[in-house]
Each structure stands twice: as C-alpha cells, then as structure tokens.
Amino acid sequence: MRTLRKAATALALAGTTLVGSAGAAWASCGQVDRPHAKTVCSTPWGSGTKSAIHTVPQPLTNIRTGQHGCFDRVVFDVPGSAGTAGYHVGYVDAFHQDGSGDHIPVTGGAILQIFVNAPSYDIETGGVIYPGRPGQTLPGVNIAGYQTFKDTKYGASFEGQTQVAVGVRARLPFRVHRSGDQVIVDVAHSW
C-alpha cells in the first residue's frame, strides 16, 4: 500500500493523472484537470475551384452548417442521391443570382459560391422542397460565433441546380466531398 501511495504521489508531482473507474481524474493530492491537447490542423486543400459533374433528379431537402476544430462546414442533404450529386464550388468577386443575374450582397472578406447539381423543388410538380428565397439568409442556418463563416445567402434553383453563397472571413482553403446523400463543403479556419 505504501509503495502504491509513493507511485501515485510521484505521478501527481510529474503532472500525470490517474483515471478511476468512474472516469474522474484523481491524483494523491485531489482532482487534477486533464491537459488539453492543442488541435493541429492540416488543411492542404487549396482555394481553387472544385467540381464534380453529375446532376440528380432528387431534390435538395436541407442545408445546415457546423463548426469543427479546424474548419467550418456546410452540408447539403440530397436524399436518394447515393453520393452522386455533382457540385461546382469556387471563390467569386461578386454573387449574382443564377438565371436573373441580379447582384446579391454577401458580407465577409471573400465569397464562396456553391452550386449543388440538384433542384430545390420537385421536378414533377414544381413544388418547393427547400424553402430558400433569393437574396435571403439560408433558412434555419445560424452562423453566429463561427470562426470562418460570416454570411450565407440563397441564390436560386435554376435548371436543376441550387446556388448559394457563403461569406467567409478571407479566401481560405476549402474541400468538397460527398458522403452518402450529402455534399459537404469544409472551409479551413486558417492556411
């Protein structure tokens, strides 16, 4: 028992914690906070335009965002697309509504224009599926407190593709990938 106490004391003085069965960190002198590892971000994605050509008849149903340790994320849900929905994503100097050409102001240091090759309406009936309105913030999306995203705007759903803009802090690296029924765009917090 004495040897165990000596070992625990030595570990506590060295800054190491012992983890009990309940998950609490304990040392011989009381609870010690676990050290927080600094997030190391590797974002070698570049800032050039990225595309995948394929149009799906399934409509876009939702757009949502999230924050991660190294990037901010926007997700486009296209149920039934099975990872085949195409996209065209790149930085633009100004955001213009597809079809009409109307200018839509977007705040931030740079504008990332995103086209997802899926309509936001039912192609059979013309009924609205995703309720975006031209020139307005994306419905249900709140980016307050995000590190990279500063604004979102809906452009249009025209000729089978949906257009949005994300205002970002600066022209930062980004990646685009598909996972299941989603098109995912990640924009790094820094170079």
State whether 84 and 162 are in the same domain: yes
Residue 93 included in any domain: yes
State whether 144 and 182 are in the same domain: yes
Please give the residue that has the higher pLDDT: either 50 or 17.
50
pLDDT in tens, 127-143: 999 999 999 999 999 99
Q: Which residues of 129-167 are buried (b: 16+ CB within 10 A; e: fewer)?
A: bbebebbeebeebebeebbbbbbbbbbbbbeebbbbbbb
Amino acid, res. 38: K
Q: Which residues of 69-91 are buried (b: 16+ CB within 10 A; e: fewer)?
A: eebbbbebbbeebeebbbbbbbe
pLDDT at residue 180 tops 70: yes
DSSP-derived pairing of the beta strands 182-188 and 71-77: antiparallel
State whether 13 and 88 are in the same domain: no
Provide the domain count of the chain: 2
We report the CATH number of the domain holding residue 87 as 2.60.40.3500
Domain that holds residue 144: 50-188
Q: What percent of the chain has a predicted confidence (pLDDT) above 70?
A: 80
pLDDT in tens, 166-176: 999 999 999 99
Whether 119 contacts 161, CB under 8 Å: yes
State whether 126 and 84 are in the same domain: yes
What is the pLDDT confidence band of residue 28, given thresholds at 50, 70 and 90?
Answer: very low
State whether 25 and 102 are in the same domain: no
pTM (2 d.p.):
0.79
